[in-house]
Amino acid sequence: MNITRLTVIAACTALAFTAAAQSRRPTQGAKLHRFSSTVERERPELNEETKALISAYRRDPSETNRAALEKQVRANYEKVMARKRAKLEELNRTAGPEKVKEMQEIVDEMVVGRETRIQQSMARFTDRRLGPYAREAKDGFHPVLGAPRVSISHTPVTVAEYAKFCAATGRNAPAVTEAKLPVTQVSLADAEAYCKWLSKKDGATYRLPTAEEWELAAGHMPKDADFNSKGECDGLSPVDSFSSTLGACGAIDFWGNVWEWTSTRKGSNALVKGGAWDSPRTRCRTEIRDESRPVAKGLANVGFRVVKVSESEDPEVAHGHRHKGGSRGGNRHLDEDRRGESR
């Protein structure tokens, strides 16, 4: 058992001191993703041809350069699809039905979501904020590439942060008092009220993310990501327990721990994203788009994070920096932002 795993277990075990919080003892015999035969260990690099095409578009955002970049993004996607299909064929020969079903779902989603994922990659690669500050947080918020002027909070709203809102507005504070846990038992209206309060307090514009903005911020779930899903911790964990697992924008705790409210409606429900501590790992994937919850209910495994809407999408303004010559960012920064590529 490595040091990282021991640290995670210690973090989970330390949380068991309040009756209002659920039991968070590590689950004995948990089968983590590292034991899964469907997980590819490598992290694909953004290839040099794609980097060059991104840089060409940034120097000259013409329709010709955009079309060339999109052609490359589509080719990259088809290569990933071919790898996944080859893996599925291998599992059909060597693995049991559960692993085959898991990989089949991934392949099916890639087929159905092909255009959405390609356009999300294009939105990130053509965002003028792509560059040296693309994953840098300012005042706890990271730029969401592909969603101009939108940045997202580093973590879900915590019990401590929500308690300040309750104290200021006379609402009932959460029963759980562990400061770094994500706040739960919050309805969609409660989450929206928090955003309005924060906007007034800070003199800025805060709101819930749309489902699309959340997906752009999170990016595709890293294959070897550590996070709190079913079999990891038996309950909620502090929002910084898995801080080495970063979303595409650089924020943390996107997958597992708590489902997160979005402002995207589905009938009388709203879509939630990211899975929770009691969700199978595969249900935490960014591409899961069929999960929703009744808007009037606060639930034990649903929390939220907020986005901030700025007046400028220019990273030099948003981060208070100035570049000296050359194209903004250049190739040396593209590897930092490669999580936006379809994979």
Confidence of residue 329 (pLDDT cuts 50, 70, 90): very low
Averaged pLDDT for residues 70-89: 95
Q: How confident is the model at residue 330 (pLDDT cuts 50, 70, 90)?
A: very low
Q: Is the pLDDT score of 317 beyond 90?
A: no
Q: Report the pLDDT averaged over residues 257-269.
A: 97
Query: Mind listing the pLDDT tens digit for each residue in 156-213?
Result: 999 999 999 999 999 998 888 899 999 999 999 999 999 999 999 999 999 999 999 9
pLDDT at 24: 45
Q: What is the reported pLDDT for 42?
A: 42
* Statement: residue 37 has pLDDT above 50: no
Mean pLDDT, range 256-282, rounded to an integer: 97
Burial 270-296, CB ≥16 within 10 A → b, else e = bbbbbbbbbbebbbbbbebbebbbebe
Amino acid letter at 188?
L
- Asked if the model's pLDDT at residue 325 lies above 50, the reply is no
Q: Give the least confident one: 31-40, 116-125, 226-235, 292-301.
A: 31-40
What is the pLDDT averaged over residues 309-319? 65
pLDDT tens string 86-125: 999 999 999 999 889 989 988 999 999 999 999 999 999 9
Q: Could you tell me if 254 and 217 are in contact, meaning their C-beta atoms sit under 8 angstroms apart? A: yes
- The token pair at 194 is 């928090």
Under 8 Å between Cβ of 288 and 259:
no
Q: Identify the pLDDT of residue 20.
A: 38
Tokens linked to 235: 């309950």
Average pLDDT over every residue of 302-326: 68
What's the pTM value of the predicted model, to 2 decimals? 0.80
pLDDT: is 84 or 8 the higher one?
84
**266 DSSP 8-state letter:** E
Higher pLDDT, 320 or 97: 97
Which residue from 305, 26, 10, 15 is spatially nearest to 180, judged by alpha carbons? 15
Question: Over pLDDT 90: what percentage of the chain?
Answer: 67
Position 76 pLDDT exceeds 80: yes
Report how far residue 338's alpha carbon sits from residue 315's, in angstroms, rounded to the nearest whole number: 18
Of 3-12, 139-148, 247-256, which range is least confident?
3-12
How confident is the model over 216-238, as a mean pLDDT? 92
For residue 314, what pLDDT is reported? 61
Give the whole-angstrom CA distance, residue 89 versus residue 303: 38
Lowest mean pLDDT among 130-134, 197-201, 251-255, 282-286: 130-134
